[in-house]
Amino acid sequence: MESGMISVDKWSSGSQVYFLTHLHADHTVGLSSKWSRAPLFCSRVTAKLFPSKFPGFDLSLLRVVEIGRWHSLPLVSPTSGSATTVSVMAIDANHCPGSLMYLFRGEFGCMLYTGDFRWEKSSNTVEVGRTILLDALKNEKLDILYLDNTYCNPRYSFPSREVAAKQIVDIITAHPKHDIIIGIDSLGKEDLLLYISRTLNIKIWVWPERLQIMHLLGFHDIFTTKTSLTRVRAVPRYSFSIETLEGLNTLCPTIGIMPSGLPWAVKAVKGNGNVFGSSCSTSGLNKSNGNMDFANGSKTHEPNGDLRSVERYCEYIYTIAYSDHSCFAEIHEFIELLRPISMKGIVSSSPSYIDPHYFFGHLCGTKQAFWRLHQKLDNEERLEKVDTIEIKSTIGGTSSVAGRKRKRDQYDFLGRVSRVSLLRRLGHGVRIADI
């Protein structure tokens, strides 16, 4: 069995302590009510939500990590078998309620696991996080950054959630007689709903299980399960479709708002020389007769004048780029701030996966010279070099899922992983193992 000390968002055996970044389903694959391997560290909010996700879970296993404070963990070194200490500090990841990044310090060096995160310049949460990180790293280099690389491509450009929320309120205001359906998940987007409620002075309907979550999060008077009290309803995203909206419209004029989705990503390619070969707007989404029109300007005029982040792909549905992940520019700022010696993307299952080194390798401490040396290589050769660098510079790489996979992945000239089906189910998470 592989030896290791710490797992993050990974729940198989072999570690002494386990860390959970947040409670979304793709980060808890392998966790269950009966899981009882070892202490599980998470945020206070996550601990509070835990029983609703895993009823019957042994709560005595949970350990709350406070934000911005070092915690010491007495562990056993996998190399020597002797006692060693690992320190961990949590930073708010600004992704969903309770989401954290973890900064670890130990015999393996210094490493940061971001989990899913949104590095919005305008956010006070991010401002606090920046201060904590810079202070914690002022006398120490970051050896490895495990990065949420979901949107690690210049094609992904979108506004802050504050701006996106305003766009959504504008759409609702422009439809005063309509019912409004907003697609959300079991956790996340609460700030958006609060903003809508506050701005329009209206309650928001949610389904019963979601109301329980809202109550656990401390929101008691804003949400309701009585449809008669409001025209704005937040519904599970998976129940949200063109067919649903068409059905609702036979009963009552209704529009749907999808705070995510990617038509904006396709459009964002426009005008940049088409480097990534935009597939244009005729793919899967508009299987009805929708023709990807931009939202009508008079209906959805936005404060920042950026119409690309609001779109309609059918008569009833608006898609708004309200993202809980960092856009490309934010990822850039984050890496530039930390300048890690090495990094590794935690999301390798994406069909458009690009190794973070491809765009940001030049920001990595000891690799800068190496990267300049290879600027003249063509894309294909360069990507092969990236691969090599990453494997060599990985701490405990042989026991990390990402490290194992990548050796065998094939890249096309855009850096896309082509063996998608094999990668799909591997999910997030990493084990921090032996040096």
Partner DNA sequence: GCGATCAGAT
Partner DNA sequence: CACATCTGATCGC
Interface residues with DNA (CB under 7 A)?
24-26, 29-30, 32, 34, 95, 116, 150, 185-188, 236-238, 240-241, 260-263, 265-266, 279, 281, 283-285, 313, 324-325, 347, 349-352, 421, 424-425
- Look at the block and give the residue holding tokens 């966790």: 31
* Non-local CB neighbours of 187 within 8 Å, separated by 6+ positions: 22, 23, 24, 49, 96, 97, 98, 213
105 vs 344, beta carbon nearer DNA: 344
Sheet holding 71-76, edge to edge: 71-76, 83-92, 100-106, 109-113, 144-147, 342-345
Least distance from DNA to the Cβ atom of residue 136, Å: 25
CA distances from 256 to 234, 240, 292, 375, 420 (A): 10, 8, 15, 47, 31
341 vs 347, beta carbon nearer DNA: 347
3-state DSSP call for residue 74?
strand
Residue 284, classified by CB atoms within 10 Å of its CB into exposed (0-12), middle (13-18) or buried (19+), is exposed
Least distance from DNA to the Cβ atom of residue 279, Å: 6
Least distance from DNA to the Cβ atom of residue 65, Å: 20
Least distance from DNA to the Cβ atom of residue 246, Å: 12
The strand pair at 430-433 and 179-184 is best described as unpaired
Least distance from DNA to the Cβ atom of residue 125, Å: 17
285 vs 338, beta carbon nearer DNA: 285
78 vs 188, beta carbon nearer DNA: 188
262 vs 433, beta carbon nearer DNA: 262
22 vs 357, beta carbon nearer DNA: 22
3-state DSSP call for residue 264?
helix
- Look at the block and give the residue holding tokens 């895993």: 54
The strand pair at 83-92 and 100-106 is best described as antiparallel
279 vs 298, beta carbon nearer DNA: 279
Least distance from DNA to the Cβ atom of residue 420, Å: 8
Least distance from DNA to the Cβ atom of residue 354, Å: 9
Residue 386's nearest CA partner among 415, 418, 419 is 415
H or E, element range at 47: helix 44-53
